[in-house]
Amino acid sequence: MSLTHKFLNIALPLVTLIVLPIITVPFLFFKLVLSVKKLVCIENLTRKVVLITGSASGIGEQLAYEYAKRGAVLSLVDVREDNLKAVADKARSLGSPDVITIVADVSKVENCKRFVDETVNYFGHSKLFSLQLCLQWIPSAGTVMVEKLEDCIDISVPRPIMDVNFWGALYGTLFAIPHLKRSRGKIVVIASGLGWYPLPRLGYYNASKAAIINFFETLRTELGWAIGFTIVSPGFIKTDLSKRILASEASLRLFPMASAEECAKAVVQGVCRGDLYVTYPLWVRLGFPLKVIFPELVDWLHRLVFRISTNAFENKENLNLSQNSQLKAE
């Protein structure tokens, strides 16, 4: 077995160096043709059903408005009932022919089954829906915690992050898949640039978004062409969630924030083109290869920006000084 691996360690890099130049030009030409096709064949969303979780605020709210402008009918899901009704009213005023609201907690599996069933039952009884069903499942609910991983001793504290960010997206997706396959629908998942390029003190949030990306990439491969997929990786967007992050970690204020409205426009445009990935703003994508090619440099910059010491004794001494100063202040 060791000889096999030694052979592959030598042979595969050589084969890759030979094959890559051969396939690069044809592949780029194929991508060019595909891009032209996407620009010409923009999907018409009129009367198509779009189900959005986390739609009472943030990116989910702006997505509801953007889909409404394009004439889609909406199923809006959130745990905050008052906000949800306000979003639904505005979506109707912007052009959505029909909007329903469902109050549900995406971290609870029975709630996820319920809002998928209610959406399909409500719109499925109409003749128009049965003729051109295109249910788009957009999990965009999320939560976050800002803290160094070593300081989080109680593992039950970050558990809701995975429950909402990962399991909330997974539960609803699994219940929606049979309906999406019948309608040739789409899954549009709101991940994060932090799923590709993790930042310090956001470890559990980074992990939840990385899990989402890996899960939906695997699901896309397994389902083939039965369902369309778009994985969205936003940077820091002006939402209540981002404001809570910046309030807890001042170093993150170095990163410019983008408009949730503009992000939603980019997402819907990408979905209508059939893009596999949407990154907004586009410059966020530059961090992905940097992390792979220059990991030592990225780690050093993170420690510098976030003022993280690598000396355990120094960390302990700083902690003691901090505690002493608090005691004096009291």
Does the pLDDT of residue 317 top 50, yes or no? no
Q: Which of 65, 67, 205, 280 is catalytic?
A: 205
One DSSP character per residue, 4-54 reads HHHHHHHHHHHHHHHHHHHHHHHHHHHHHHHHHHHHHSPPP-TT-EEEEES
Instruction: Tell me if 157 is assigned to some domain.
Output: yes
Provide the residue range defining the domain that includes 194: 36-291
Instruction: Tell me if 263 is assigned to some domain.
Output: yes
Q: Please, is 288 exposed, middle or buried when counting C-beta atoms within 10 Å of its C-beta (0-12, 13-18, 19+)?
A: middle
Q: How many domains does the chain have?
A: 2
| Pair 305, 254: CB distance under 8 Å | yes
Overall average pLDDT of the 152-178 stretch: 84
Task: Say if residue 212 is in the same domain as residue 271.
Answer: yes
- The pLDDT tens digits for 80-100 are 888 999 999 999 999 999 999
According to DSSP, the β-strands at 99-103 and 228-234 are: unpaired
The amino acid present at 249, given as its one-letter code, is E
Instruction: Tell me if 192 is assigned to some domain.
Output: yes
Instruction: Tell me if 248 is assigned to some domain.
Output: yes
Instruction: Tell me if 5 is assigned to some domain.
Output: no
Please state the pTM of the whole predicted model: 0.83
Please indicate whether residue 205 is annotated as part of the active site.
yes
| Pair 187, 215: CB distance under 8 Å | no
Looking at residue 127, what is its pLDDT? 33
- The pLDDT tens digits for 232-248 are 999 988 887 777 777 77
Q: What is the mean pLDDT of the chain?
A: 83
Sign of the CA dihedral 205, 210, 212, 215? negative
Does the pLDDT of residue 316 top 90, yes or no? no
Compute the distance between CA of residue 148 and CA of residue 134 in angstroms, rounded to an integer.
Answer: 42
Question: How many CA atoms lie less than 13 Å away from 283 in the CB half-sphere?
Answer: 5
Looking at residue 295, what is its pLDDT? 93
Torsion of CA 105, 111, 115, 121, to 10 degrees: -160
